[in-house]
Amino acid sequence: MDGAETLRIGELAVKANVTKRTIDYYTNMGLLEATRSSSNYRFYNQNELDKLMFIEACKKKNMTLTEIKDELIKRNECLQKLDDIDQLKDQILHLNKDVGQVLKMIENLDPDERKLLRKQLTQDHLALIQSLVLLLM
Protein backbone atom coordinates (compact mmCIF):
# COMPACT_ATOMS: atom_id res chain seq x y z
CA MET A 1 0.00 0.00 0.00
CA ASP A 2 1.06 3.66 -0.19
CA GLY A 3 1.56 4.19 3.53
CA ALA A 4 -1.83 5.79 4.13
CA GLU A 5 -4.22 3.97 6.42
CA THR A 6 -6.19 1.36 4.54
CA LEU A 7 -9.13 -0.72 5.64
CA ARG A 8 -10.24 -4.18 4.65
CA ILE A 9 -13.86 -4.53 3.65
CA GLY A 10 -14.96 -5.73 7.10
CA GLU A 11 -13.22 -2.83 8.85
CA LEU A 12 -14.78 -0.37 6.40
CA ALA A 13 -18.21 -1.90 6.98
CA VAL A 14 -17.88 -1.48 10.75
CA LYS A 15 -16.66 2.13 10.50
CA ALA A 16 -19.48 3.08 8.11
CA ASN A 17 -22.13 0.97 9.85
CA VAL A 18 -23.06 -0.88 6.66
CA THR A 19 -22.80 -4.49 5.55
CA LYS A 20 -19.95 -5.98 3.55
CA ARG A 21 -22.53 -6.84 0.90
CA THR A 22 -23.44 -3.14 0.60
CA ILE A 23 -19.78 -2.28 0.07
CA ASP A 24 -19.51 -5.05 -2.56
CA TYR A 25 -22.55 -3.64 -4.34
CA TYR A 26 -21.23 -0.07 -4.32
CA THR A 27 -17.81 -1.26 -5.48
CA ASN A 28 -19.36 -3.25 -8.35
CA MET A 29 -21.42 -0.18 -9.32
CA GLY A 30 -18.28 1.93 -9.43
CA LEU A 31 -19.29 4.12 -6.50
CA LEU A 32 -16.33 2.90 -4.43
CA GLU A 33 -12.83 1.89 -5.49
CA ALA A 34 -10.69 -0.73 -3.82
CA THR A 35 -7.06 -1.63 -4.30
CA ARG A 36 -6.07 -5.27 -4.28
CA SER A 37 -3.22 -6.66 -2.25
CA SER A 38 -0.91 -9.39 -3.55
CA SER A 39 -3.07 -11.86 -1.61
CA ASN A 40 -6.16 -10.45 -3.39
CA TYR A 41 -7.63 -8.69 -0.36
CA ARG A 42 -9.51 -5.50 -1.10
CA PHE A 43 -8.33 -2.40 0.71
CA TYR A 44 -10.14 0.92 0.95
CA ASN A 45 -8.50 4.22 1.87
CA GLN A 46 -9.85 7.15 3.88
CA ASN A 47 -11.22 8.76 0.72
CA GLU A 48 -13.40 5.71 0.10
CA LEU A 49 -14.65 5.80 3.70
CA ASP A 50 -15.56 9.46 3.18
CA LYS A 51 -17.36 8.55 -0.06
CA LEU A 52 -19.22 5.74 1.68
CA MET A 53 -20.37 8.09 4.44
CA PHE A 54 -21.47 10.57 1.74
CA ILE A 55 -23.41 7.82 -0.08
CA GLU A 56 -25.17 6.80 3.11
CA ALA A 57 -26.06 10.44 3.90
CA CYS A 58 -27.48 10.82 0.39
CA LYS A 59 -29.52 7.64 0.77
CA LYS A 60 -31.06 9.09 3.94
CA LYS A 61 -32.20 12.00 1.77
CA ASN A 62 -33.94 9.45 -0.50
CA MET A 63 -31.57 10.02 -3.41
CA THR A 64 -31.30 7.26 -5.99
CA LEU A 65 -27.96 5.57 -6.60
CA THR A 66 -27.85 7.22 -10.04
CA GLU A 67 -28.29 10.64 -8.41
CA ILE A 68 -25.64 9.75 -5.84
CA LYS A 69 -23.24 8.67 -8.58
CA ASP A 70 -23.80 12.02 -10.33
CA GLU A 71 -23.14 13.86 -7.06
CA LEU A 72 -19.94 11.86 -6.52
CA ILE A 73 -18.77 12.86 -10.00
CA LYS A 74 -19.47 16.53 -9.19
CA ARG A 75 -17.72 16.12 -5.84
CA ASN A 76 -14.65 14.61 -7.50
CA GLU A 77 -14.58 17.43 -10.05
CA CYS A 78 -14.69 19.98 -7.21
CA LEU A 79 -11.89 18.19 -5.36
CA GLN A 80 -9.82 18.15 -8.55
CA LYS A 81 -10.41 21.88 -9.00
CA LEU A 82 -9.28 22.49 -5.43
CA ASP A 83 -6.11 20.50 -6.12
CA ASP A 84 -5.56 22.56 -9.28
CA ILE A 85 -5.99 25.77 -7.27
CA ASP A 86 -3.44 24.57 -4.72
CA GLN A 87 -0.97 23.83 -7.51
CA LEU A 88 -1.55 27.29 -8.99
CA LYS A 89 -0.96 28.86 -5.59
CA ASP A 90 2.35 27.02 -5.34
CA GLN A 91 3.34 28.17 -8.82
CA ILE A 92 2.42 31.77 -7.96
CA LEU A 93 4.54 31.58 -4.81
CA HIS A 94 7.50 30.37 -6.86
CA LEU A 95 6.91 33.10 -9.44
CA ASN A 96 6.70 35.67 -6.67
CA LYS A 97 10.08 34.55 -5.37
CA ASP A 98 11.59 34.60 -8.87
CA VAL A 99 10.15 38.04 -9.65
CA GLY A 100 11.51 39.35 -6.35
CA GLN A 101 14.98 38.12 -7.27
CA VAL A 102 14.76 39.68 -10.75
CA LEU A 103 13.57 43.00 -9.29
CA LYS A 104 16.56 43.03 -6.92
CA MET A 105 18.87 42.38 -9.85
CA ILE A 106 17.27 45.22 -11.84
CA GLU A 107 17.64 47.58 -8.87
CA ASN A 108 21.36 46.83 -8.85
CA LEU A 109 21.82 47.77 -12.52
CA ASP A 110 23.42 51.07 -13.34
CA PRO A 111 21.34 53.60 -15.37
CA ASP A 112 22.92 52.63 -18.72
CA GLU A 113 22.20 48.94 -18.15
CA ARG A 114 18.58 49.77 -17.27
CA LYS A 115 18.17 51.73 -20.52
CA LEU A 116 19.56 48.81 -22.50
CA LEU A 117 17.21 46.42 -20.72
CA ARG A 118 14.19 48.65 -21.48
CA LYS A 119 15.09 48.72 -25.18
CA GLN A 120 15.30 44.93 -25.30
CA LEU A 121 11.92 44.41 -23.68
CA THR A 122 8.89 44.61 -25.96
CA GLN A 123 5.58 46.13 -24.91
CA ASP A 124 4.18 42.62 -24.45
CA HIS A 125 7.01 41.75 -22.06
CA LEU A 126 6.42 44.92 -20.09
CA ALA A 127 2.67 44.29 -19.89
CA LEU A 128 3.32 40.75 -18.68
CA ILE A 129 5.81 41.92 -16.07
CA GLN A 130 3.41 44.62 -14.85
CA SER A 131 0.59 42.08 -14.63
CA LEU A 132 2.78 39.70 -12.65
CA VAL A 133 3.87 42.44 -10.28
CA LEU A 134 0.24 43.48 -9.72
CA LEU A 135 -0.84 39.88 -9.26
CA LEU A 136 1.87 39.23 -6.72
CA MET A 137 1.25 42.35 -4.62
pLDDT in tens, 30-81: 999 999 999 989 999 999 999 999 999 999 999 999 999 999 999 999 999 9
pTM (2 d.p.): 0.64
Q: What is the 3-state secondary structure (H, E, C) of the chain?
A: CCCCCEEEHHHHHHHHCCCHHHHHHHHHHCCCCCEECCCCCEEEEHHHHHHHHHHHHHHHCCCCHHHHHHHHHHHHHHHHHHHHHHHHHHHHHHHHHHHHHHHHHHHCCCHHHHHHHHHHCCHHHHHHHHHHHHHHC
Do 57 and 10 fall within a single domain?
A: yes
Do 88 and 126 fall within a single domain?
A: yes
Q: Which domain does 26 fall in, by range?
A: 6-62
How many domains does the chain contain in total?
2
Banded pLDDT at 1 (limits 50, 70, 90): very low
